[in-house]
Amino acid sequence: MASSSAIASDGGLLSKLLSFIEHFKPRGLLISKAGEPGYALAHPEEVKIIQGLQRHELIAKLIHSLIGVSVTLIATYFTVKWLKNVLDPTSSDKEKALQKAKDLMKKIGVKETVKLTDYELCVAANLVDLCSIEMDWTDIGGLQEVKEDIRETVIFPFKRHDLVMGSSLLRAPKGVLLYGPPGCGKTMVAKAMAKEAGARFINLQITSLLDKWYGESQKRAEAVFSLAVKIQPTIIFIDEIDAFLRSRNSSDHEATALMKTQFMTLWDGLVTDPNCRVMIIGATNRASDVDPAILRRMPSMFHIAKPGQNQRKHILEIILADEELDSSVDLTEVAKLTNGFSGSDLRELCRNAALYRIKEYIQEEIRRDGMDSTSTFPDENGSPSLRRISMADIEKSLEKMTNCTHIHGFQQTNFHLD
């Protein structure tokens, strides 16, 4: 009885296996012929050979075939992955950018219901968390008239969209241009605008739009606007906009020309949608190089000029607010002596003046203890003791900077926009 049961069991297994083989009848199945090593192609009429095999032989051959298929699939996967990395060396950077974008989206509070494409995620890597922007209008010295004008004509209509919806004249502009000499605070103004407006801030890097594959740059340019609309209110900031959207000419590369055209076409879509709360802010110190068609799309233009004497004094007060100053320091006199300096020049002036204290401290320690300049010098309380910044430090720093070519030989360029 036991023998009959075993035979019936084997017969049932063989019948199932034959049914499985029958599924592949058009092309046949690779099996081993009795008495021959290796594999041969078994046609449907030769399937009966399998009946001469034992159960354990069938299982062993099936497992052998499955292992072979698995190894082939794994080898194919890694081969394709290697070829992808060879053809696109930036693939790993793109994956990191996608992960960074996902983290930023959660950080700035974008709902998970907002679904983004891969192109939009690439652009989302340029998002800036407003909490990480520590500056506001009080950190920008001078520019009082410009700040008031921006608040009244740009930020207020952008924030209070509900009050200006009924009028096409009162709506916030879709484009703002900040132009003027370098180092005068254009980027700081843009960040302060985004923070006060409470908008998502995309600090657009042009490199994130470029791709070596034909047509990909246009798709990324489109993703900039589709992303901004999905997470609005949004401010798109393009620093040195003249490098990206300069005047078009016949020598432009075809891909670059197409991307510019795509960008301007999508920009027009923002203008025609009254409910869209997306604004583009551009900054440049070469306004004359920007394409006239782009200037037309940026009706609000603000000249961020070099600070005057009173503005320079205000900037110095902000820069030195947390520093210990000697009673000899006269900021009014310093403001007079720094005619032609930009805000960044004034910060560098103060930084150099503060460094002279460090140099004196190190030299004094070397003379006293014979220590080298790489050692640390704590005082009795465990922290360095530095003297206050004196007027002599500032004058010495001023002399050093006026001897530099970027100040001594600098000729201010005035920008005239028609």
345, 364, 374, 381, 393 from 359: Cα distances, Å: 21, 9, 12, 21, 11
pLDDT (0 to 100) of residue 32: 47
CATH class of 92-303: alpha beta
SS3 203: strand
Residue-level pLDDT at 388? 86
**Domain map (residue ranges) of the chain:** 2-87, 92-303, 309-408
| Model pLDDT, residue 44 | 52
**pLDDT for the residue numbered 54:** 59
Question: How far from each other are the two terminal CA atoms of the chain, in whole angstroms?
Answer: 106
CATH for 309-408 (1.10.10.2840, 1.10.8.60, 3.40.1160.10, 3.30.1360.200): 1.10.8.60
Intervals of the chain under pLDDT 70: 1-55, 84-94, 97-98, 108-109, 111-113, 271-272, 369-384, 404-418
CA angle 392, 182, 203 (to 5 degrees): 120
List, for residues 251-278, the tens digit of each pLDDT value.
777 777 787 888 888 888 776 677 788 8
User: CA-to-CA distance for 338 and 329, rounded, in angstroms?
Assistant: 14
pLDDT at position 124 is 80
Q: What is the pLDDT of residues 22-72, one digit of tens each?
A: 554 444 444 444 444 444 445 455 555 555 555 677 777 788 888 888 888
